[in-house]
A and B are shown apart, each in its own frame.
Chain A
Amino acid sequence: KAGVTQTPRYLIKTRGQQVTLSCSPISGHRSVSWYQQTPGQGLQFLFEYFSETQRNKGNFPGRFSGRQFSNSRSEMNVSTLELGDSALYLCASSRGLAGAPTQYFGPGTRLTVL
């Protein structure tokens, strides 16, 4: 079974620009969660989508948004980029049902904001 894929793997942007990251979950998984990983803060939860609906949201500004499509693929958008947005962005997929919240991560997109 194919794992979680994320594109692109690397991105370089400048302050003020916007960026869109893409995630394809494991086949059959309906939940996609997004996390930001930085050396200072570690892994922080951004939001989770299940069946095209945002089901949970972390404590990030509104510049961070996402969506999920009917095939469970998800995109994350960051508008008006700031230097502090430089991070590894990880998506994780799961079945999203009751029980153990086992999540499977993709390789991440490394975003550098100059």
Chain B
Amino acid sequence: QKEVEQDPGPLSVPEGAIVSLNCTYSNSAFQYFMWYRQYSRKGPELLMYTYSSGNKEDGRFTAQVDKSSKYISLFIRDSQPSDSATYLCAMSPPNQAGTALIFGKGTTLSVSS
């Protein structure tokens, strides 16, 4: 079992839809949970991060962490064609100096106008 699992999609939605992107993980000691967005031929861009469990909202984006289920989600409200990209979840392993992140393989999202 991989440490972080993410459905690769592709996920296709109409403009204005609510999008739900998810990752599951196996290491219960993960502390930081991040979401990155990657456009084609670009590097990943940090969207938001959460620490431990709970919700965090930033504009149209909401990140949720459920540590009891080892499940994290990113919700996008009022999706726009400009949201079409690959979304990567990433987690920070514990007890390591430095900042090694473990990534999911990414979910490709397409929002049609």
- Which residues of A approach B to under 8 Å, CB–CB? 4, 31, 33, 35, 41-45, 48, 50, 55-56, 58, 90, 94, 96, 100-108
Contacts and interface: CB of A to CB of B under 8 A. Distances in A.
B13 interface: no
- Chain A interface mostly: strand
A104 B46 contact: yes
Interface of B: 32, 34, 36, 41-46, 49, 51, 88, 90, 92, 96-106
A91 to B, nearest CB: 9
Given A101-B32, A102-B49, A45 B43 contact: no
A31 B43 contact: no
Given A42-B103, A101-B32, A56 B46 contact: no
Contact of A105 (B41, B44, B104, B105): B44
B43 A107 contact: yes
Contacts of A50: 98
A110 to B, nearest CB: 8
A90 B101 contact: no
A96 B100 contact: no
A43 B97 contact: no
Given A42-B105, A42-B106, A101-B32, A96 B99 contact: yes
B101 A100 contact: no
A100 B49 contact: yes
A77 to B, nearest CB: 19
Given A44-B103, A102-B34, A105-B45, 14 more contacts: A31-B98, A33-B99, A35-B103, A43-B103, A48-B100, A50-B98, A56-B97, A56-B100, A90-B43, A100-B49, A103-B46, A105-B43, A105-B44, A107-B42
